[in-house]
Structure 1
């Protein structure tokens, strides 16, 4: 999927686990089919999962990133929806150049496989989750870094790249106009705690209800509108309107949520068009929902 993607085979993963955590040698290790773009996931027995970063980086930076992810995941564990708990950190070896992690395994099906888009009960579950995250203590922290969650216009250069790469794939002229409207919407509230990546692959569903949340390592302070991306990534029109009502979102906050969903979806379509078609299709579906509502 990535030009800088590192090599990892099942045999390498098995040797890393066996050498560094001999207490788990007896547990079966099997690759997990997923649309994920950041980590390769291997299920370890029935209760654990090993996660191996896919993109090359300095090992010391990777270790700091994994440690920060573990801290954020432990903090997220205080929220009402189950999430994986960090268990251990592994070191590079056997040809794999990066540190890696082990966490608990959660039962359930990701929303890419069990689509809850038409479920009003799921929309209420999402609203309850987002409200609980917003109520968590920021402890004086504010958004930092260059990712989603700060100022929409800071992403103009990336969006220009997306528009250029999407010629022939999407109605770029119409999408440029929409971004021009969304990017100017002002912040209306201070940072709150946010999952930061509520996409279908990070949400576990059973019988049309929310039963778990994955990839909580990005939990941190951000624009209150950021987690509203779930409305366009996960919900059809009427349940999405129910989510908005449940959270009491005004026009500006709701529009900023559209802006963050737009920023994410534009990148998914072209970047993963050949290497991860399900992620590319997710981006297209989200853009279609945004254009319908705009």
Structure 2
């Protein structure tokens, strides 16, 4: 990944925060962006996210984060947005409040089973609050079920056949048929605000509590089933098989069955087909998980 020169980062942070950066620490994650912790004197810090996109970035994200925070979702305050040209390339900066803690993904192995289950249920409650937001149609990324293209399905099946064998390729083709049927027969669902990447890596845990939901870059209008499906596909072992815990927490605020509207299988298969077709392949564990999810939902 191309990194932004330190003097540019220092200048942008100073313009937003009015203070000079003493230490800049790269952070893991952050999706497609550079992400840093910028530290000031006195143990004060902010998060700096930098995107390289053809149009100004992070504007919709900041708006949707504010909407989510207004209904009780723990998320960082965006302190400022800046956009500047550097060598003919647009750089977008989001300077955010620093939230303490580590991701749920990082601490899974350190937690007693009872604490892990409690945190996942708390995450489900938070997700229901996210979904309580009525989204702006023109803000964020809209997530809808997509009709599989025959040529793309053929390509993905070929990749899966080469990686996992002919039985797995047949599962992919069944999944595409299932998704075509769902798109053709199900009415369009009502939209809520969806986080767009709701999984353990984006939940910050501090002192036994979920203190932050991070990385709202893919947030936007969608069926609540979209987030539930992403958890099932992407949460990782052992949590990807504990969507029941997410739903139990969700039920503290809203009915998960009504929110889901029977669409989680379709969204899960839609997402797995996309991941299986990535030009930069998913990890072997993710690859196998995608096929397993399709197999479960298309078993006769």
Q: Is the 8 A contact 2:34 2:49 kept in 1?
A: yes
Matches within 5 A, 1:1-294: 7-9=2-4, 12=5, 14-22=6-14, 23-34=18-29, 36-45=30-39, 46-54=44-52, 57-58=53-54, 61=55, 63=56, 65-92=57-84, 95=87, 97-115=90-108, 119-138=116-135, 141-142=136-137, 149-153=143-147, 161-170=155-164, 171-185=168-182, 186-187=186-187, 189-206=189-206, 210-228=210-228, 229-234=230-235, 235-237=239-241, 239-244=242-247, 247=251, 248-250=255-257, 253=260, 256-268=263-275, 271=278, 280-281=283-284, 283-284=286-287, 286-287=289-290, 290-291=293-294, 293-294=296-297
What runs of 5+ residues in structure 2 fail to find an aligned partner? none
Per-residue Cα deviation, 1:45-94 (whole angstroms, up to 9, x for no partner): 1431111115xx42xx1x1x322222122222223231122112233355
What SS does structure 2 have at the residue aligned with 1:71?
helix
Query: Does the CA-based 8 Å contact 1:84-1:103 persist in structure 2?
Result: yes
CA deviation string 1:168-217 (max 9, x = no partner): 22422212212322443324741122212213332223577533211124
Q: How far apart, in 2, do the equivalents of 1:179 and 1:208 lie?
A: 41
CA contact under 8 A between 1:188 and 1:253: conserved in structure 2?
A: no
Q: Find the structure with the greater CA-based Rg.
A: 2
TM-score by length of 2: 0.73
Structure 1 residue ranges without an equivalent (≥5): none
1:27–1:154: structure 2 CA closer, same or farther, 3 Å change rule? farther
CA displacement 1:20-55 (0-9 Å, x = unmatched): 343332431111123x4321101111431111115x
**Partners in 2 of 1:134 and 1:197 — Cα distance?**
13
For residue 112 of structure 1, give the secondary structure of its aligned residue in structure 2: helix
CA distance in 2 between counterparts of 1:271 and 1:156 reads 16
* Separation of aligned partners in 1, 2:261 and 2:284: 23
Q: CA deviation at 1:18?
A: 2.4
Aligned residues: 271
